[in-house]
Amino acid sequence: MRDMAMTNSRNCKKRRLGLLIACEDAGQALVELALTMPLLVLLLIGSAELGRLAYYAIEVSNAARAGVAYGAQNHVTASDLPGMKTAAQNDAGNITLATTTATNSCACSSAYTATSACITTFSCSGTNRIIEYVQVKTTATVVPMFKYPGVSKTYTLNGQSVMRVGQ
């Protein structure tokens, strides 16, 4: 009988493929899995939600960049503010932008910041030349797929892009 118990013990260890787990401890792994599975599922869902928010943030920023790219082509498209808004909204694809704001501004080549809106009477003194800039700001509100206690129920994502108009 003792030989049979030794044989069963050896067979049990062989069935475990060298993991040195005795047959009596076989249920321990199942208990550990049951205890850690909720944590693993929470980590998986959290990382999927974070990836989704990162994707939407990139989309909002890319939409602003697309609107600016349209406006920066030349001086005619720089004054087409509705066209810049449309380009931004078309690039947003599968998200809805809450707000899209397009502006253009002018500065003199001696001043490195845009000082005023571009109007026909804007001029620079001396050898300075007029430099025109366009800017598009986008905003989107994203609702998470799952509700977490202590975490915001909505996220506001902002995108902004500024580009100098081609001469």
Can you tell me the distance from the alpha carbon of 52 to that of 58, in angstroms, rounded to the nearest whole number?
A: 10
Encoded tokens for 69: 């790219």
What pLDDT shows up at residue 85? 94
Query: Are 132 and 162 in contact, with CB atoms under 8 Å apart?
Result: no
Residue found by looking up tokens 């076989």 in the block: 26
Q: Please say if the pLDDT value at position 24 is more than 90.
A: no
Encoded tokens for 155: 């996220």
Q: Beta partners for 155?
A: 142
Q: Please say if the pLDDT value at position 25 is more than 80.
A: no
* CA 32 from centroid of its chain's CA atoms: 35
* More confident of the two residues 17 and 82: 82
Q: What sections of the chain are H helices per DSSP?
A: 2-15, 26-71, 75-78, 81-91
Q: Please say if the pLDDT value at position 90 is more than 60.
A: yes
Give residue 11's pLDDT band: very low, low, confident or very high (50, 70, 90).
low
* More confident of the two residues 114 and 25: 25
User: In terms of DSSP bridges, do strands 99-108 and 155-164 run parallel, antiparallel, or are they unpaired?
Assistant: unpaired
Can you tell me the distance from the alpha carbon of 113 to that of 125, in angstroms, rounded to the nearest whole number?
A: 16
What does the pLDDT look like over 29-67, one tens digit per residue? 888 889 999 999 989 998 999 999 999 999 999 999 999
Domain boundaries, the chain: 25-164
* CA 141 from centroid of its chain's CA atoms: 12
What does the pLDDT look like over 91-124, one tens digit per residue? 988 888 999 999 988 888 776 555 556 766 667 7
What one-letter code names the amino acid at 135? Answer: Q
Is residue 25 helix, strand or coil? Answer: helix
Is residue 49 helix, strand or coil? Answer: helix
For 129-146, give the secondary structure using H, E and C.
CEEEEEEEEEEEEECCCC
